[in-house]
Amino acid sequence: MTGSTAPARPDERGRFGRYGGRYAPEVLIPALEELEAAWRELRDDASFRRELDELARDFVGRPTPITHARRLSEELGYDVWLKREDLAHTGAHKINNALGQVLLARRLGKERIIAETGAGQHGVATATASALLGLPCVVYMGEEDTRRQAPNVARMRLLGAEVVPVTAGTRTLKEAVNEALRDWAASVATTHYVIGSVVGPHPFPMLVRDLQRVIGDEARAQYRERTGADPEVVAACVGGGSNAIGMFTAFVGAEGVRLIGVEAGGRGTRLGEHCASLTLGEPGVLHGALSYLLQDPDGQVVETHSISAGLDYPGVGPEHAFLKDAGLASYVSASDADALAGFRLLARTEGILPALEPAHVIGWLAHRPLPDGTRVLVCLSGRGDKDLDTVLRAEGGGA
Amino acid sequence: MGLLEERLRAVRDGGAKAFVPYVTGGAPGVDAALLRALAEAGADAIEVGIPHSDPIMDGGVIQDASRLALEAGTRTDDVLATVAAAGLEVPVAAMTYANPVLRRGVDRFVADLAAAGVAGLIVPDLPPEESEELRGAAAERGIDVVLLAAPGAAPERYRAIAREARGFVYCVATYGVTGARDRLAETARAVVEGLRGLTDLPLLVGVGISTPEQAASACAFADGVIVGSALVAPLVGGDRAGALALAEAFRAAIA
Ligand SMILES: Cc1ncc(COP(=O)(O)O)c(C=O)c1O
């Protein structure tokens, strides 16, 4: 599943260039050190790999296919392929990380799993992995998100997880992470925190990337097999950045391949109207790592807005900050309206209802930002069932 | 050695215990007069929070206080102005999170603290491995950067904390975040004992010290206590007199 060569990043101190690090309360440091040591050992451990690979195949349904989006390509004038993470069990890429981390937690002897969730996809994935491996699971979710992603709350509860609505602050993903970190500070001896993206203090951005890179490793091989070459553009949506890093890692530095991350542009470019941390933010520390951040002049983290709960986050994984500054990837944004248009376009042309998160990528492509005929590989990170209410409401109740 | 460390050492060397109340700057009821009243109530130093949007080490009471302060428009400079206006004789330690410090820039942040008469700085999400630059810059301004020591750390880690801390070592009493607890955690003693012998800095216990009795129990093995949520709760609830009476009771319990 993971590629044979571990990327050189991050360094010993958890730094991707200047970004990342371990800005964590003292009480969590021993657990973070233990986690780092365990992962550095287990990621190349044959028995762990076998266990994870088997579950990936038999339970998740990996490898997920790539699909040639012929009618979409015709309409846009590009040649578009989709990496179908929407077909992974539970309907998004989040399961790759959740399963790996819950397996790791069991190896560490932890007795309890906690997670945060925004869209609910990571919560569902973690609840699923916990059910499969027989560990109790608590999921923190902003109260606002429990409303806009109600079907996923029901799913988590059916899977045996306890869902705790978080009423602090913006009642969205950022506050859910805060609350999960507070739980972990109290429970760290017995509990593993399955963070849902390539964010958080070292080693989380490395650990989650290592577990998600299967997306790009598979996709690059599949794309080459089908077309005989690499794509010219690899595109993915960026919330915390895990599906994008998972997709990009196999391609970073590859000649002739441009990596493009699409952030949520929300409804405007003023602070508070979007979640475009990489395109509009400045370096700062949130949730244990230094990265691009949406913040005010005093360093207070600001409210964000996106139609998609999974992208509604003011920070972003530190490796993306590094890739941006190093010119190894570029980042753009797509608005709420673009995402809705992308959702409809993919449904109509390909018979696929995408999650609103990757619908941002389709919506961005629909503006035809690339030269005619460009060969594009898109990470379709999840399916759209969870978003039907939001989509229908945004379009005035009519379908 | 800055003023914070000098004072707390003097308290300890004089055979007394240090009482350090914490209040969130800009929260309801927290103004220069309150800081003076806390000093009069017998505080040996005062910890003043610069509110942050994402207080991950804080429980409900201080989260609420921080939110109310920010909603009222409190800026970092307002908190510093309050400290300066209080003109206290006892040292003040500012407490905030990494991002407000880094956003302003480490050098400017500590310069602004010094200009306001702040003597110490506590940043719970800057462990020793991430706070080197800050500790260097602060030392040049005579500001003591206090480090936290938490339960469950290996002896080498306590040794590193003991070596790099200034002012005092903030011994985190328990696993978890700030907020009231029914009892003084067993872990408090283990943290203090883990540090004794590694440093002769004062060792103060904080996080979850909720009653004067708990403070007295902690002072059986520690050099003092930091009391936050227990005082902030009545302040935010509008009971300033109650908060000050409680501060006096804490003082009396560990005299
Ligand atoms: C389908 C889908 N895509 C993308 C994301 C955003 O997360 P990340 O940027 O970590 O991939 C989410 C988050 O919930 C999601 O559910």
Calculate mean pLDDT across residues B172-184.
93
Return the residue of B nearest to A166 by Cα. B60
State the average pLDDT for chain A: 96
Predicted confidence at residue A5, as pLDDT, reads 52
B77: domain CATH number is: 3.20.20.70
- Over 90: is that where the pLDDT of A2 sits? no
Residue closest via CA to ligand 1's atom 6 equals A239
- Inspect the interface and report whether the beta carbons of B101 and A189 lie closer than 8 Å: no
**Which atom of ligand 1 lies nearest, measured to the CA of A238?**
9
- ipTM, 2 decimals? 0.96
Cα distance between residue B255 and residue B250, in whole Å? 9
**Phi/psi at A330 (5° precision):** -125, 160
Sign of the dihedral through C-alpha A175, A364, A320, A192: positive
Segment A64-118, tens digit of pLDDT? 999 999 999 999 999 999 999 999 999 999 999 999 999 999 999 999 999 999 9
> Number of folded domains in chain B?
1
Neighbouring-strand partners of residue A260: A235, A330
pLDDT band at A168 (very low <50, low <70, confident <90, very high): confident
Contacts with A290 (C-beta within 8 Å, 6 or more apart), sequence order: A18, A19, A20, A21, A23, A283, A284, A318, A321, B102
Q: Which of B5, B58, B64, B144 is catalytic?
A: B58
pTM of the entire predicted model: 0.97
- Inspect the interface and report whether the beta carbons of B99 and A178 lie closer than 8 Å: no
pLDDT band at A6 (very low <50, low <70, confident <90, very high): low
Predicted confidence at residue A3, as pLDDT, reads 45
B44-70 burial, b at 16+ Cβ within 10 Å, e below that, comes to bbbbbbbbbbbbbbbbebbbbbbbbbb
Segment B90-113, tens digit of pLDDT? 999 999 999 999 999 999 999 999
Total beta-carbon pairs less than 8 A apart between chain A and chain B? 110
Segment B185-243, tens digit of pLDDT? 999 999 999 999 999 999 999 999 999 999 999 999 999 999 999 999 999 999 999 99
Return the residue of A nearest to B155 by Cα. A30
Provide the 3-class DSSP secondary structure of residue A15.
strand
Sequence letter at residue A371: P
Cα distance between residue A263 and residue B107, in whole Å? 33
- Print the domain residue range for B212: 3-253
Segment A118-158, tens digit of pLDDT? 989 999 999 999 999 999 999 999 998 998 888 999 999 99
